[in-house]
Chain A
Amino acid sequence: MVNQMTAWLFNEWPWYVAGPVIGLFVPALLLVGNKAFGVSGNLRHLCAAILPAKVEFFRYDWRRVGLWNLVFLAGILIGGFLTFHTGAANDIAISAETRTTLARLGIHDFSGVAPHELFTWHALLTARGFVSVVVGGFLVGFGTAYAGGCTSGHAISGLANFELPSLIAVVGFFAGGLAATWFILPFVIGR
């Protein structure tokens, strides 16, 4: 009985559990302190805290505006750590087609949450690891700041509030993601 009750905590959640739980973070943050759910604003707060320099975009009171969100962000890291150390080390059960496609492109290690061929410190010294981690990370930071939001701020908070800017941003997310997946990644991974 206890095993059945706690099993969900240690295994992959079905989409119809994961999705609604993610969605509930929007009203939860509103109810606690009228805060807008969105993670990427933290990248701006970190810039404002570490090196605002003379850049107008970073000259604001980051503690008052963003400290709550930076604390939330630290929680995400801790939550990932706790989950990683309490659950079964399951591989990600992706579809057989995806496995076949990725194997054809040059990914053969399907253990863990991200392929070791791309996401290890050692792989960082290879072209494909560098593009995946450093170039990809740069585009995430630049793009979310430019768009004023990421998956949480636009795709979830924004769409749930029926905002046109967020719809445009989400269409952009998928346009960029599809382009990178279908036209860029084959060249990146293939090296």
Chain B
Amino acid sequence: MTRPLLTESEGCGAGTDDAPEVRPAYLAVYLLLGIAFGVVLTRSEVLSWFRIQEMFRFQSFRMYGIIGSAVATAAVSTAILKRSGLRSAAGEAISIPKKELGSGVRYAAGGTIFGLGWALTGACPGPLFALVGNGVSVMLAAVLSAIVGTWIYGLLRPRLPH
């Protein structure tokens, strides 16, 4: 029960508790980036249940091409960023904290559980919200259920292997 709060690697983008306060002007930038991401998720069709089925049935290269080229682009651009020594617009040194491996159980088990849900809903967390915007309003129920799932994880966390 006394497990320390591993905020560093908790949830993608969870950040750390000593993260600086974000200024309102920057929130507007994050909003615009989010809008752009919603457009991308829709136009790339990665939010589509049909596309996810096509991927898991190995019947199209499309999703693999998208994920592969996204990873390659992110890897090359962040490597350049790290070497450039640039600071962020908000003034922080750019750093990407490494996730702790531990026993690895949480990644294997949690990953597999998420994978089951990914195929059933045909959506990962970003697309769940983009789908609501796209008029698939029943995905609000999926969002609510996902929040409940995260809450139950939080409750059981001290008893689960990590």
Interface, chain A (partner B; CB < 8 A):
9, 11-13, 15-16, 18-47, 50-51, 55-61, 64-69, 71-84, 87, 92, 94-95, 97-98, 101-102, 110, 112-115, 118-121, 123-124, 129, 131-166, 168-182, 184-185, 188
Contact = CB atoms under 8 A, between A and B. Distances in A.
B12 to A, nearest CB: 2
B35 A78 contact: yes
Contact of A34 (B40, B57, B88, B154): B88
B118 A23 contact: no
A149 B31 contact: no
Interface in B23-71: 26-27, 29-57, 59-63, 65-71
Contact of A144 (B35, B125, B134, B154): B125
Nearest to A134: B145
- Which of A132, A145, A185: most chain B Cβ within 10 A? A145
B153 A64 contact: no
B71 A155 contact: yes
A66 B56 CA distance: 32
B112 to A, nearest CB: 4
Interface of B: 3, 5, 7, 9-17, 19-22, 26-27, 29-57, 59-63, 65-75, 77-78, 80-81, 86, 88-90, 92-101, 104, 106-126, 128-139, 141-155, 157-158, 160
Contacts, number: 594
Given A20-B73, A165-B104, A173-B114, A188 B147 contact: no
B69 A141 contact: no
B114 to A, nearest CB: 3
B126 A137 contact: no
Contacts of A21: 40, 44
Contacts of A154: 12, 107, 111
Nearest to B42: A83
28 contacts: A16-B69, A24-B74, A24-B77, A34-B88, A39-B13, A40-B12, A42-B11, A65-B14, A68-B27, A69-B15, A75-B31, A76-B41, A81-B134, A95-B54, A115-B49, A131-B120, A135-B120, A137-B117, A138-B146, A144-B150, A146-B106, A146-B113, A152-B13, A161-B75, A164-B101, A172-B107, A178-B115, A179-B116
